[in-house]
Copies of this chain bind each other. A is one copy, B any other.
Amino acid sequence: MKVAYKVWLENEGKAFGEGPYQLLRGIEQTGSLHMAAMNLEMSYQKAWNVLNDCEKKLGFDVIERRVGGVSGGGSNLTVAGKAFLKQYERFREDVRYAIEKTFHKHFG
């Protein structure tokens, strides 16, 4: 037997969970929303919907909007987006640890 779970943040509805987390992490790692979406087998349009939804719920922009320049127009997280990603990553890791520990306490 093992434990499984899903955790997410809510703010009048789902605000941020595993999907947006993976997308933001992908953008940070690849510097490209296109690449990040592709790696998650998510359409570009869907990726934008995910970003727009979570920005609305979180109350701040997570990705920089800028016109593609000589650089080819990659995508970057905003300062607030980067900080939130780190914060969520620590939360996510602590949740994983806490749930595994609780599972082993009762069923280990």
Contact = CB atoms under 8 A, between A and B. Distances in A.
Interface of A: 1-11, 14-15, 87-88, 90-91, 94-95, 98-99, 101-103, 105-107
Given A99-B95, A106-B91, A106-B94, A5 B7 contact: yes
B6 A10 contact: no
A9 B3 contact: yes
Given A4-B8, A91-B107, A95-B99, 12 more contacts: A2-B11, A3-B8, A4-B9, A5-B7, A5-B8, A9-B107, A87-B107, A90-B106, A91-B102, A94-B102, A95-B102, A98-B99
A51 to B, nearest CB: 18
A4 B8 CA distance: 5
A98 B7 CA distance: 12
A7 B95 CA distance: 12
Contacts of A6: 5-6
A107 B107 CA distance: 29
A2 B53 CA distance: 17
A94 to B, nearest CB: 5
